[in-house]
Amino acid sequence: MGAAGSRLRISLPLTGHLHRVRAPSDRRWPRDAVESPGLDHPDDGPGRGGGLAAKEVLTAKKVAAPPMIDGKSETVWNTVRPVTINLPGKFTVTAKAVYTDTCVYFMFPWPDKYESLNRVRVFEKGRWQKKPGNEERFNLMWNINGSIAGFSEKGGQIVCHKNKETDEGQMYTNGPGERADFWHWNPQRTNPLGYADDRFVMNELDRSGEEATGRRADQASSGSFSANSDSVKNRPKFTSAKGKDEPVLLKKDAKEVSDATKFRDGPIVPQEVLEMPAGSRGDVAAKGIWKAGKWTLELARKLTTDHDDDGQFDDLSSTFRFGISVHNNAGGGTHATSEVIELKFK
């Protein structure tokens, strides 16, 4: 991606000062059961919006002392010029970037009237039911080794397609060998553990799930989130050993539901059980905080990694191009998408 010779590969676990993770029990929820879910794509189909806006240029400034990844704006961010990124017809995202000899850091504030933590099941009328709504999602997509034709012009929109049979959005690259690095942050599934789900997008579709997709998770030797469901008995597989109704359930706090367990109307159980992934999937440190109608998200990753499912910031004289998409209490193809953005290091 970017100028000739520019390669983006990015990974390896971040440790030490990069993480300061707030406990899941501190989170506010649910705030938006009646909010209209989601944001639409630009006018002519998923990821295929009309005319291109001028490219925004985000300049990363080198700093001696990096920010803490805690979702809070620190003094170091005041030394960086912000860039306003327009998500056509929807809202704007503010972007800042800094870097050190080893890592790159981003901060993205954006408006959101409600904090959405609705990926839960509730026990009502004698059975478990999914609660309406979803969660926010904030995504960054990078072109691995410049492999995706057209990415420099359209950014992440180039991998968004429309399923002609179902009219649903699908994500996949347009040819064999084309791959994108995809950082996928969720306030309910990844934020409590302080990371963004590191994934990649390829041309071959995986048809094993509910929808066919070219998106894959980076390799993980253990961990990540998993479905909290016993499909045979139509109930959650785990509840909290702490006996609390919360929108987040960590694996270390999970207790398996037995046949002897009796429920009354009202209990809430998350749809996923969470564990920090080990390996490439856990490469991106991230923390977001929602306050007074606004999210503030910080992310960090090593400039280069040993993983071929990542992009690499290995030539800081190059220009790296990326795209942003944001889901508001929604999943799938319902989201707002930016045009291509250029990242430069100074």
pLDDT digits (tens, 9 = 90+) for 50-102: 334 447 999 999 999 999 999 999 999 999 999 999 987 778 999 999 999 99
Domain-wise residue ranges, the chain: 16-118+134-211+284-345
The CA distance from 340 to 33, in Å, is: 33
Higher-pLDDT residue of 292 and 13 is: 292
- pLDDT on residue 5: 35
Tell me the average pLDDT of the chain.
84
- pLDDT on residue 46: 24
Look at the block and give the residue holding tokens 């478990």: 128
CB 340 within 8 A of CB 319: no
Give percent of the chain above pLDDT 70.
Answer: 84
With a CB cutoff of 8 Å and minimum separation 6, the contacts of 107 are 67, 73, 77, 94, 95, 96, 97, 296, 297, 298
CB atoms within 10 A of CB 293: 10
- pLDDT on residue 167: 66
Q: Which residue from 197, 187, 217 is spatially nearest to 276, judged by alpha carbons? A: 197
pLDDT (average), residues 150-169? 84
Higher-pLDDT residue of 219 and 9 is: 219
Cα torsion 240, 242, 244, 249: sign = negative
Residue 157 binned pLDDT confidence (cut-offs 50, 70, 90)? confident
Element containing residue 290 per DSSP (H, E): strand 284-291
Does residue 232 have a pLDDT over 80?
yes
The CA distance from 295 to 216, in Å, is: 26
CATH fold of 16-118+134-211+284-345: Immunoglobulin-like (2.60.40)
Does residue 44 have a pLDDT over 60?
no
pLDDT (average), residues 189-211? 92
Q: Which of 56-65, 197-206, 237-246, 289-298 has the lowest mean pLDDT?
A: 237-246
Q: Which of 1-15, 264-278, 314-328 has the lowest mean pLDDT?
A: 1-15
Q: Which of 134-138, 185-189, 220-224, 331-335 has the lowest mean pLDDT?
A: 331-335
pLDDT (average), residues 192-199? 97
Q: Which residue from 248, 245, 249, 244 is spatially nearest to 268, judged by alpha carbons? A: 245
Q: pTM score, two decimals?
A: 0.84
pLDDT digits (tens, 9 = 90+) for 292-318: 999 999 999 999 999 999 999 999 999
Q: Which residue from 24, 336, 327 is spatially nearest to 188, judged by alpha carbons? A: 24
Residue 83: beta bridge partners? Answer: 95
Higher-pLDDT residue of 137 and 164 is: 137
